[in-house]
Structure 1
Amino acid sequence: MKTLKIDNIELVLSHPLEINAEWIGQNESMRQLIACWMVVDELDLPLTPRIIGFPGIGKTTLAIAAAKHRKQDVYIMQCTSDTRPEDLLITPVLSDQGKISYHASPLLTAALTGGIAILDEGNRMSEKSWASLAGLFDNRRMVESVVAGITVTAHKEFRAAVTMNEDSSTFEIPDYIMSRLQPGIQIPFPDRADELRILSYSLPFSSPEALELCVDYLQKAHSLDLPYSVRDGINALRYTAKLKHADPSLDTSDIFKKTIVQILGDEALDLDSLAAKRQSSGEHIPSMNLGDFFFSEDNDLNPDYNEDDDK
C-alpha cells in the first residue's frame, strides 16, 4: 500500500491498472490520442480529449493502449450518475482503530504520480461532480479537496482522457467543462479486415467458421448503422465456442444464430427489419426546420426555403 503526504495529510494511493491492451487497426485514432498528450514546447500543455463511440467499440482499450505506448501507469475512474465530487478526489475511511485515513481516487493518484487517468463513461456523471474537476483540466492543472483540506497540483507528466458513450442514458456535459475536454476523437466501426483481426486476437480458440459468421454479421450491422459492436461479437463467439465444445455435433451456424438471439434479442436475427423499424420509430430523423413540418422543402411558402440552395 503506497502513501504520499501532502500538507501533513497522508494519502493512501490507488493501484494502477495491471492489464495489457493492444490496439488493432484504426491507427488514426491512436495517432490523434497520442498527439493530444504530447507537449511540443515548455509553454505547451497536454490536452484532455474525449473518446467518443458506441458502447463496446473499444474506447477504453484505445486509451489503455496509448498509455502503455507512453510507458506510463494507467488508472481508470468509472463514472456513474451516483459519482460524487469526493469520489473523484479523496474519500475519508474510518479504520478499525477509529482513525480516519484518506484514500486518493484513481484520478487523483494519476495526477499526483504522473500517471494517465481514464474517466470511463464520463457523460454518465452529473454537473456537480464535473465542477470539482474544472481546475484540473485547464491551465491551472490543480484541484482542491474540501474533505482533506488540501490543494493538489498535478504532476507534469499527468495525462487524462474521457470516454463517452453515444446513447440516451447519459447527462449533457456543461459547456464550461466541455471546453476543457477537447478535442473529440471519434472511433468508427472497424472495417472487415480489422474486425477479423480483433476477434481473432481476443478469441484465438474460435473456429474460422465461427469467426467468419461473426464478422459477416457485424459488418452488415455496421452498414445498417445498428449499434452492435466488437464486444457483442466477442460475447457471441465465446458463447458459440462453449456450446460447440459441449456438443460437437451441433452445426456452428445454428449455434451462432442461437447465441445472437440470447445475447442481442430475437429481432437481432433480421438486421434489415430491425434497421427499418429503428428508422420508422424516429431514431434517425433527418435535421428539419420548423417550416419543413408544414411545407415541402422547395415550396416558396416555406420560410426556411432558400433559392440559392438550388443553384
Structure 2
Amino acid sequence: MLNTTTKKTIEIDGVTLHLSQPDNTSSEWIGQEEVLRQIQACWMVISEKDFPLSPRITGMPGIGKTTLAMVAANQRNQPLYIFQCTSDTRPEDLLITPVLSEKGKISYHASPLVCAIIEGGICILDEGNRMNEKSWASLAPLLDHRRYVESIIAGIKIQAHKEFRACVTMNNDESTFEIPDYILSRLQPTLQLAMPSYQDELAILRYHLPFSGEDLLKMTVDFLQKSHQLDLDFSPRDGIHIIQYALKRISQEKDNPLAKDKMWQEA
C-alpha cells in the first residue's frame, strides 16, 4: 500500500498553486571530486550583491551527470527537484500546467522547477539540450540577475527564493537541439564530466552491484576501460546493466560451470 502525503498548495497573487514533492533518492558520488567542488562553488553566494551561477554539466550519456548534481544538492541540505527535458517540452510544462478537475474547475499545478523556485530548493534540468528554444526563452529572466518566471497561463509572476539554485545536464550526442547563445551565456560555467578511471569505475560497479562476484566486476571494467580508450559509447551505466543481465542469466544456468563467461559475452 502506498503512503500518501497531503499535497501542499500556495497562493500567489490570488492563484492557488499545487506543489509536488521533492526527490528523496539517496545517491553517492565516487571519484572526480574536483567537479563536485566546482558545482558547489557555482552555487555559493559570497556577497549581498552576488548571485548564484547555473552551470551546465556535459558528458556522454550514462556517466553520472544527474547523480553528480543530486549529490551536490544533497550536500547543501536543500529540497531537490528534477525536471526531465524533452523535445516536446512546452513553456507551460516548465512552469505551470492547468488541470481540469472532476468538478469542472481548473487547478494549477507547479512544475518541479517552479516548486524549487518557490521552496528555495535546487532544480536539475535533466538533458536540457533536448528542449526547444521557445521553452528556453521562458527561463531567460530566471537565469540572470532578475531571477523570476512569468506564467502566461496562470497570469502570475514568481520571484525566486533567495536559496533557489539550478543546473542543467547535457548529453554529448546528435539527437539534441542547438541552444541559443543568449541562453548559453546564462548557463555558465560548463563543467565537463570525463569517463572514470579504472579504480573509480570498479568502485562504482561495486557500489551498485554488491552482490556480484569480483571476477565479473573486473572483467566488465577491463572492457569499459578499453572502450573509453577507443572512444566507444560504453558508460558505467552500460557496465551495470551488463553485469545485471549476466548475473540473471547465470542464475538460470547454475549447473553449467562455463555459464559465467558465456553469459557475460551474451550480455
TM-score normalised per structure 1: 0.82
Instruction: Choose which of 217, 222, 225 in structure 2 pairs with 1:219.
Output: 225
Aligned to 1:256: 264
Instruction: Choose which of 81, 85, 91 in structure 2 pairs with 1:75.
Output: 81
Q: Which 5+ residue runs of structure 2 have no aligned equivalent?
A: 1-6
Q: Mapping of 1:134-213 within 5 angstroms?
A: 134-213=140-219
Name the aligned partner's letter for residue 234 of structure 2: Y
Instruction: Choose which of 5, 11, 34 in structure 1 pairs with 2:11.
Output: 5
Name the aligned partner's letter for residue 238 of structure 2: D
Q: Distance in 1 between matches of 2:189 and 2:198?
A: 27
Q: Mapping of 1:274-285 within 5 angstroms?
A: none
Residues 54 and 187 of structure 2 are in contact (CA less than 8 Å); yes or no, is this contact kept in structure 1?
Answer: yes
Instruction: Choose which of 101, 106, 109 in structure 1 pairs with 2:112.
Output: 106
Q: Which 5+ residue runs of structure 1 have no aligned equivalent?
A: 260-311
Cα offset for 1:254?
1.8
Aligned to 2:139: 133
Residues 253 and 259 of structure 2 are in contact (CA less than 8 Å); yes or no, is this contact kept in structure 1?
Answer: no
Aligned to 1:282: none
1:248-305 Cα offsets, whole Å, 9 max, x none, are: 224322211110xxxxxxxxxxxxxxxxxxxxxxxxxxxxxxxxxxxxxxxxxxxxxx
Considering Cα pairs closer than 8 Å and 6+ residues apart, tell me whether 1 or 2 has the greater RCO: 2
Q: Give SS of 1:135's match.
A: coil
1:42-68 Cα offsets, whole Å, 9 max, x none, are: 111000000000000100000001000
User: Percent identity of the aligned residues?
Assistant: 61
Residues 83 and 112 of structure 2 are in contact (CA less than 8 Å); yes or no, is this contact kept in structure 1?
Answer: yes
Instruction: Choose which of 23, 38, 59 in structure 1 pairs with 2:29.
Output: 23
Name the aligned partner's letter for residue 168 of structure 1: E
1:216-251 Cα offsets, whole Å, 9 max, x none, are: 000000111112101100100100111111212243
Name the aligned partner's letter for residue 17 of structure 1: D
> In angstroms, what is the RMSD of aligned CA positions?
0.7
TM-score normalised per structure 2: 0.96
Matching of residue 117 in structure 1 with residue 123 in structure 2: yes
Aligned to 2:61: 55
Q: How many residues align?
A: 259
Q: Distance in 1 between matches of 2:249 and 2:71?
A: 32
Matching of residue 88 in structure 1 with residue 94 in structure 2: yes
Residues 209 and 252 of structure 1 are in contact (CA less than 8 Å); yes or no, is this contact kept in structure 2?
Answer: no
Matching of residue 241 in structure 1 with residue 247 in structure 2: yes
Instruction: Choose which of 231, 236, 239 in structure 2 pairs with 1:230.
Output: 236
Aligned to 2:3: none
Q: Distance in 2 between matches of 1:89 and 1:192?
A: 41
Q: Distance in 2 between matches of 1:48 and 1:8?
A: 30
Q: Mapping of 1:24-39 within 5 angstroms?
A: 24-39=30-45
Q: Give SS of 1:137's match.
A: coil
Q: Distance in 1 between matches of 2:213 and 2:76?
A: 35
Q: Give SS of 1:20's match.
A: coil
Residues 50 and 182 of structure 1 are in contact (CA less than 8 Å); yes or no, is this contact kept in structure 2?
Answer: yes
Q: Which has the higher helix share?
A: 1
Q: Distance in 2 between matches of 1:35 and 1:81?
A: 30
Residues 61 and 235 of structure 2 are in contact (CA less than 8 Å); yes or no, is this contact kept in structure 1?
Answer: yes
Q: Give SS of 1:253's match.
A: helix
Aligned to 2:4: none
Q: Distance in 2 between matches of 1:179 and 1:205?
A: 45
